[in-house]
Amino acid sequence: MADNGYNNELGVNESDSLSETVVVIREYDRKTDRERVEQVENSCEVGPNGELSLYTDLLGDPICRVRNSPAYLMLVAETVKNAGDGDEKREIVGMIRGCIKTVTCGSKFSRSKTGDPAKPLPVYTKLAYILGLRVSPFHRRMGIGLKLVRRMEQWFGDNGAEYSYIATDDANEPSVSLFTGKCGYSKFRNPSVLVHPVFAHRLPVSNRVTVIKLSPVDGETIYRHRFSTIEFFPRDIDAVLNNHLNLGSFLAVPKGYIWGGSDKFISDPPENWAIMSVWNCKDVFKLEVKGASKLRKGFAKTTRILDRVFPFLRLPSLPKIFSPFGLHMLYGLGGSGPLYTRYAKALFGFAHNLAKECKCGVVATEVSSEDPLRLAIPHWKILSFTDLWCIKRLGEDYSDGSVGDWRKSQPGLSVFVDPREF
């Protein structure tokens, strides 16, 4: 990095040792780093570059997006400059978060005499996830992002992770070329993030459907039975469902169906049903769309006022996205039966109305590119986007196991998106 004045190897530049700046990567310290980390965070837009930009406010807790994961780490990049009089000038200029958990990467059939040979069983892997990589706009293209990623991957490897993945926007060229060009990641999946505004009026929920709130134990039983072979299903689903941010798991069944507990439901389900859980991201971070013209803001405000005054007209109003707003994430969406997407739609209406009561700006969900729900779940195209997940195998000495190399597998119909790191 000789051409930018930075020495990333913590060495000494003999020609000008007084103005030498080195970059140190170290663990985030809540007591000393919070304020500066927030400043860097606020200076980085997270959406694609354009007229409008999306910013996040982590509500005073920069580690919030990983702290609910079983193992997590946040690192900061700090420049240390010799000020010449024996003093050092330190400045945080970047950060990265990472977490590790066990998830499903494929399925196999039981060979044991006691197991059901027709029922596939999940194959698990230890998966690491990189998120919240940010480098201050004044310190980019100096190798700091790369250095943060490498140090995080070292921690992943030390903790036995077999794969690492990241989610980014296909249009985010710096991020895509950093991970695929420099860090050895390959493009893996393209799930769709479906976003719907929360209107001032309630959405109708079909009166042919009953929505039941499940206990965490019943939710876990149904999820493990029906979803555990879906890619990215977290083995500690019980920890997800029992987390205080989980607002509940909901089951849509035909009107008249009598709920007799999850075991009875699994052995004798109705012909059509759907399940969905709701995660309260609103208490973790806020989003804000910046860069809108006064005209656009004024138009949005007018739609909201009209919708509030005349809710019976069911006007599709724009929420307050030009000031900080919260969201609910809908996850674990799935079901069975020829009409199951209708039941999922009923659950969506129910979730919208819950988000309205909680004063959220939008509800969002993320589904596989192959999932029929992608077309069935109401969303606004202008707010929705396609995610790009890139994956890397952290060690070549791992056994391929019964699913082989996960990177080479085809996408399934569904994907389980863990709300803890949304």
* Residues engaged in binding ligand COA (CB under 6 A): 44, 46, 133-135, 140-146, 166, 168, 172-175, 177-178, 181-182
User: What is the β-pairing status of strands 273-280 and 6-7?
Assistant: unpaired
The H or E element that residue 287 is part of is: strand 286-290
Secondary-structure percent of the chain, ordered helix, strand, coil, rounded to 5: 30, 35, 40
CA-CA distance, 387 to 165, in Å (whole number)?
A: 12
Whether 104 and 141 have beta carbons less than 8 Å apart is answered as no
Closer to ligand COA by Cβ: residue 134 or 379: 134
Q: Which residues contact 144 (CB under 8 A, 6 or more apart)?
A: 8, 23, 77, 93, 94, 135
Closer to ligand COA by Cβ: residue 137 or 204: 137
Whether 194 and 300 have beta carbons less than 8 Å apart is answered as no
CB of 166 to ligand COA, least distance (A): 5
Closer to ligand COA by Cβ: residue 45 or 236: 45
CB of 46 to ligand COA, least distance (A): 6
Nearest to 355 by CA among 195, 199, 194: 199
What is the number of the residue whose Cβ is closest to ligand COA?
Answer: 145
Closer to ligand COA by Cβ: residue 93 or 300: 93
Whether 282 and 327 have beta carbons less than 8 Å apart is answered as yes
CB of 176 to ligand COA, least distance (A): 8
CB of 63 to ligand COA, least distance (A): 16
Closer to ligand COA by Cβ: residue 173 or 271: 173
CA-CA distance, 177 to 183, in Å (whole number)?
A: 9
Residue with tokens 């804000």: 288
Whether 178 and 300 have beta carbons less than 8 Å apart is answered as no
CA-CA distance, 416 to 189, in Å (whole number)?
A: 12
CB of 348 to ligand COA, least distance (A): 28
Closer to ligand COA by Cβ: residue 124 or 188: 188
CA-CA distance, 415 to 165, in Å (whole number)?
A: 14
CB of 133 to ligand COA, least distance (A): 5
CB of 139 to ligand COA, least distance (A): 7
Closer to ligand COA by Cβ: residue 143 or 419: 143
Whether 415 and 191 have beta carbons less than 8 Å apart is answered as yes
Compute the C-alpha angle 86/91/92, nearest 5°: 145
CB of 72 to ligand COA, least distance (A): 16
Closer to ligand COA by Cβ: residue 183 or 276: 183
Closer to ligand COA by Cβ: residue 55 or 250: 55
CA-CA distance, 39 to 58, in Å (whole number)?
A: 11
Closer to ligand COA by Cβ: residue 169 or 231: 169
CB of 151 to ligand COA, least distance (A): 12
Which DSSP string do the residues of 184-203 spell out, in sequence order? --EEEE--EEEEEE--SSPP
CB of 418 to ligand COA, least distance (A): 17
